[in-house]
Amino acid sequence: MLYQFSMHDFEVLLNYPNVTEFFQDKIGYTEFLQSVNGFEKEWDGRKVSELAINSLRALAKNRPQNLFCFRIFNGVNDQKIGRLLSGAIEELATIKDILVFPIPTLIDSQSQACARDFEGTAYDEKRKRVYFNRFLYRVVNDAHVQKLMDKVLNIFIISNDLYGDIDGTRYNWFFGQTNIVHNINYSVISLAKAKVDIQVYDLFKHELAHYFDVCENRIINTVGKHGQHCTTPLCVMQQIDTVQQAVDYAKLRYSKKADTYCKYCIEDIKRAKSIFSLKELLKLK
């Protein structure tokens, strides 16, 4: 299931006393629900979206024990990209419980400014692309990212090409990278080589699934080229090495109406365990 909040809604709702008390197990669900029902989309003069209230009700009702949290830093000023990212997250949310903020389909100025700042300071004028390792340095040392450390996947969408050193290998360019550094989970995705929407859609689904250690701990239908990837025909987790291959493969998958993930990758996602909890929400204040 997917739970979505804007940054503004997070800030308001998580300072609402009965929300805090409920997630700290100080009051029961009935008392909490009565409080939220009387919320009327506003608290202390600050409006809250209906989507946020519904997500809050659903969180309180379901109390998911294996909840994953995504934080979006979308530096691309294009709502279409947000819709494609949202679709990729929604598909994963049919397999795992995911909380996401800010809402992917909306442009959040603070998160956008953060992504663009990182991209700008890591941009190599000579190569005309972003130096990945310098970008990661900014991620590791930024207070906005540090709040929940390894408990959240920080997703950065940038517009320029990436290059850099990964596991001792120099790459002149790559689509993206999802990993953990200094206890901070990150997914950095470049749209510089994006040619068609279905290619971008598959790129998002591919990179985000790496967060769940897809292909990492199984011995069938995998290959260890540039990290572990799937070899099942038409699975989105296959290794893609060139832009044309990415476009052709996305078009092929679309024409065949292929499932996003093969049965092996779905099982990998299902097995993933989160260290995020509802109580961790309170640390976002």
Say if residues 139 and 150 touch (Cβ distance below 8 Å): no
d(CA 149, CA 140) in angstroms, rounded, equals: 9
Closest CA to 30 of 57, 3, 12, 52: 57
Q: What angle do CA 97, 99, 100 make, to 5 degrees?
A: 135
Q: What are the tens digits of pLDDT across the range 260-284?
A: 999 999 999 999 998 777 766 666 5
Q: How confident is the model at residue 38 (pLDDT cuts 50, 70, 90)?
A: low
Runs of H (alpha helix) within the chain: 7-13, 17-23, 29-37, 50-62, 79-92, 109-121, 132-140, 143-146, 197-210, 243-255, 263-271
d(CA 100, CA 5) in angstroms, rounded, equals: 7
Enumerate residues 6+ apart whose C-beta is below 8 A from 201.
84, 87, 88, 250
- Spell out the domains of the chain, with CATH numbers in brackets: 7-63 (no CATH), 64-284 (3.40.390.10)
pLDDT computed for residue 37 by the predictor: 65
Q: What is the pTM of this model?
A: 0.91
